[in-house]
Amino acid sequence: MPKSDQKPVLVAAIAGAFGVKGEVRLKSFTDDPAACLAYAPFLDKDGKQILSIRSSRRIKNGFAVFANEITTREEAEAGKSTKLYAARERFVDLAEGDYYQTDLLGLMVKDADGKNLGQIKAVLNFGASDLLEVFNTPGVSKSWTIPFTKHHVPVVDIAGGKVVLHEAEAFISPDDTANEDEGTQS
């Protein structure tokens, strides 16, 4: 597997077959959906080349592509849900404070005292701003979100594998935490 700072970046996924001649339907994860095609040939998460494009066209909700590695509808369907990555060196270096979402996923979430608050499960955006979805929080049954702002997430340490949150307790619902007094009577 590539070094952590060189791991490939997720840009698309195979969404199944398109038609009967072996075309593959791709779902893009890039800001500009067509930009994902420029990163071909695609890699797997370990950096091995798995899909090269011969031709492509826009379709509803994605792109239909003919790939050298897939020649039948059955092969295209078998590839459904395959994640497609691009080599890290194909991307520009980001400005201070900007991050690729793939680098945030799986990072440990800590409070200012170093207490474990879980892991980043997803980076969500419903139109206003990015949110970090946190799961595996000790004593909490559900995932929860916190705004991904400098105020709420003052430290992002990709190399160290963690983020540090400020005021996280305001975002963890008391209804989701284990009740220490459960089962006792007053």
pLDDT at 184: 41
pLDDT at 73: 96
**How far is C-alpha 66 from the geometric centre of its chain's CA atoms?**
26
Helical (H) or strand (E) element with 78:
helix 73-78
**Same domain (yes/no): 154, 80:** no
pLDDT at 175: 53
> From CA 186, how far away is CA 182, in angstroms rounded?
11
pLDDT at 75: 96
The share of the chain scoring above pLDDT 70, in percent, equals: 90
pLDDT at 5: 56
pLDDT in tens, 17-29: 999 999 999 999 8
**Same domain (yes/no): 79, 108:** no
**Same domain (yes/no): 10, 85:** yes
As a dihedral over the C-alpha atoms of residue 53, residue 48, residue 103, residue 60, rounded to 10 degrees, the angle is 20
Helical (H) or strand (E) element with 83:
strand 83-86
- CATH number for the domain spanning 40: value is 2.40.30.60
- Residue position matching structure tokens 């879980």: 118
> From CA 5, how far away is CA 159, in angstroms rounded?
8
Number of domains composing the chain = 2
**Same domain (yes/no): 11, 68:** yes
